[in-house]
Amino acid sequence: MSGYQLADNVSLQGRNTFRVPARAAMMADVTRADALAELYDFAMLREGPVLVLGEGSNLLFAADFPGVIICLTMAGIRILEDDGQHALVIADAGVNWNDLVGWTLARGLCGLENMALIPGTVGASPIQNIGAYGVEVGEFIETVEAFQRDTGQIKRLSKADCEFAYRDSRFKQQADRWVITAVELRLPRRRELQLDYAGVREEIAGMGVGNPRAVHVAEAISRIRTRKLPNPSVLGNAGSFFKNPIVPGALALALKDAHPALPVYPGDSATTRKLSAAWLIESAGWKGYREGDAGIAAQHALVLVNHGNATGAQLLSLAHRVADSVQEKFAVALEPEPRLIGANWEHR
Ligand SMILES: Cc1cc2nc3c(=O)[nH]c(=O)nc-3n(C[C@H](O)[C@H](O)[C@H](O)COP(=O)(O)OP(=O)(O)OC[C@H]3O[C@@H](n4cnc5c(N)ncnc54)[C@H](O)[C@@H]3O)c2cc1C
């Protein structure tokens, strides 16, 4: 058993949540982490472009992919240690993220409840340090196991090695270097619930729950997300298309003076602030805009959508125009959150 299976000229349309048409020159489905070393011995992987693909919920194919796409299908979850207060859980890269959230909650472990219903795989979760409703996965990750392309070895990276930041990590910065094969998370059995974010308390009260536990938080957040975000199986999208911009404090202050309704959050240092990209885009008049099959969601200004037959290039062109108009109106540069394949955001 080689641990991988190769196929030529594969359609990617069903493998990205924007559902844009694109093809890969070759696809490798990998069933065992230790097969990666052998696979990377092929000239096409050693020398040519390689892309690791999870569920395709955080990338936009602006063109066909001329190299090899790797999909990891290992999907086990188990508890490595449990001292009664915390458990160390290991999940393979191919596990669906929301399945892991449900698996841990069902075993009385908490921490991941605010990240319920984020699409994608466990293997992709450290890439942009996924987060929602005030919690990020980096808080719980103890170790990431990853195949290192330049050495051909599987390496164990500690949380500090991963360099987690807002929607960022070492893996995102060095996109072609790592193939994440498994993630270890240390999860508590008891923890103060984080309910202070965008309607969570109200949703729980509406569910008739007086003394909520982590499972109720996951349920409430799943309900809010289902209402607020377009379902990619109905309307192609990749969630938030733009990151919330982090700007100098002085610019945030000036903008807040001119636009008192603008939401301003703490930045990544004492001298910066984070602005709401959704507010900026909505104020620039883009919410619900549609041009052919490319558009901005009517429910949420941050979500770029494919109404049916838009191409990646058309979606990207609309995203550029949205960013240009925000730059013109507010002097704030927006950056995309999903990875662009076959295009460069700065060089158009
Ligand atoms: C409706 C919707 C809502 C969303 N909401 C949120 C949210 O609330 N918070 C949030 O943080 N994100 C959100 N996202 C984005 C997305 O769910 C996450 O980024 C998710 O982690 C992507 O997982 P994936 O398996 O689909 O990765 P893919 O889209 O397949 O890949 C994304 C990136 O990760 C790399 N990658 C994937 N797997 C591996 C691996 N094993 N090793 C190395 N690199 C890898 C890819 O090469 C690519 O660069 C949302 C997306 C959608 C469609």
- Residue 202 pLDDT: 95
- Residue 152 pLDDT: 93
Give the Cα separation of 31 and 75 in Å (integer).
9
Per-residue pLDDT of the chain (348 residues; tens, 9 = 90+): 689 999 999 999 999 999 999 999 999 999 999 999 999 998 888 888 999 999 999 999 999 999 999 999 999 999 999 999 999 999 999 999 999 999 999 999 999 999 999 999 999 999 999 999 999 999 999 999 999 998 999 999 999 999 999 899 999 999 889 999 999 999 999 999 999 887 999 999 999 999 999 999 999 999 999 999 999 999 999 999 999 999 999 999 999 999 999 999 999 889 999 999 999 999 999 999 999 999 999 999 999 999 999 999 999 999 999 999 999 999 999 999 999 999 999 877
Give the Cα separation of 70 and 4 in Å (integer).
9
Q: 60 C-alpha vs ligand 1 centroid, how far in Å? A: 11
Give residues (CB < 6 A) around ligand 1.
17, 51-59, 72, 93, 118-121, 123-125, 127-128, 130-132, 171, 175, 178-180, 229, 232, 237-239, 339
- Residue 347 pLDDT: 74
Ligand 1 atom nearest residue 130's Cα:
11
- Residue 201 pLDDT: 95
Give the Cα separation of 102 and 62 in Å (integer).
34
Q: 338 C-alpha vs ligand 1 centroid, how far in Å? A: 8
pTM: 0.95
Residues 6+ apart with CB under 8 A from 93: 54, 72, 74, 121, 122, 123, 124, 179, 180, 181, 182, 183
Pairing of strands 50-52, 65-72: parallel
Catalytically active residues, by annotation: 167, 240, 337
Give the Cα separation of 8 and 305 in Å (integer).
29
- Residue 139 pLDDT: 97
- Residue 1 pLDDT: 65
Give the Cα separation of 191 and 85 in Å (integer).
10
